[in-house]
């Protein structure tokens, strides 16, 4: 499954508190960045959204997710999430995902739906 999200400066500002390099161009410039930096969880959002779409309440109730943030994403870039669920023709309870930004990898991870097997069907 795939999903994309274009991270505008406005979206970065709305997601972050004020006065840091995620939301304030001057704060970003003070530490050497020319653009706002997306928070890792914001960049991972499309992958998380796909997990929620597929697993719903069972994922929210007892699922786990592990993110590894490996690349920076700045404002006005698009992230593309690719989530692979195991056993697509059966009840699946594990997934792997990669979020890219152009040719760069931004986030990788794994997720488990969780819960007792009787609740997964």
What SS3 string covers 104-118? EEEEEEEEECCCCHH
Per-residue pLDDT of the chain (121 residues; tens, 9 = 90+): 999 999 999 999 999 988 899 999 999 999 999 999 999 999 999 999 999 999 998 899 989 999 999 999 999 999 999 999 987 555 568 999 999 999 999 999 999 997 554 444 4
Q: In the sheet that 104-112 helps form, which strands lie side by side, from edge to edge? A: 2-7, 77-85, 94-101, 104-112, 64-69
Please check whether residue 21 lies inside any domain of the structure: no
Please tell me the total count of domains within the chain.
1
Please check whether residue 32 lies inside any domain of the structure: no
Domain that holds residue 95: 2-8+38-120
Please check whether residue 98 lies inside any domain of the structure: yes
Give the pLDDT confidence score for residue 96 in this predicted structure.
Answer: 97
Please check whether residue 101 lies inside any domain of the structure: yes
Give the pLDDT confidence score for residue 118 in this predicted structure.
Answer: 41
Match 């020319």 to its residue by tokens.
34
Give the pLDDT confidence score for residue 58 in this predicted structure.
Answer: 85
Give the pLDDT confidence score for residue 18 in this predicted structure.
Answer: 87
Give the pLDDT confidence score for residue 50 in this predicted structure.
Answer: 97
CATH at 75: 3.10.129.10
Please check whether residue 16 lies inside any domain of the structure: no
Give the pLDDT confidence score for residue 92 in this predicted structure.
Answer: 64
């Amino acid at each position: 499954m795939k999903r994309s999200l274009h991270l505008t400066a406005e979206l970065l500002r709305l997601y972050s508190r004020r006065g840091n390099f995620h939301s304030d161009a001057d704060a970003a410039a003070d530490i050497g960045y020319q653009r706002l930096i997306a928070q890792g969880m914001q960049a991972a959002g499309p992958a998380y959204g796909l997990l929620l779409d597929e697993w719903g309440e069972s994922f929210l109730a007892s699922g786990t997710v592990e993110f590894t943030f490996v690349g920076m994403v700045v404002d006005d870039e698009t992230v593309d999430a690719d989530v692979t669920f195991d056993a697509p023709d059966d009840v699946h309870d594990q997934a792997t995902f990669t979020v890219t930004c152009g040719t760069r990898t931004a986030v990788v991870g794994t997720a488990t739906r969780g819960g007792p097997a009787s609740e997964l069907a």
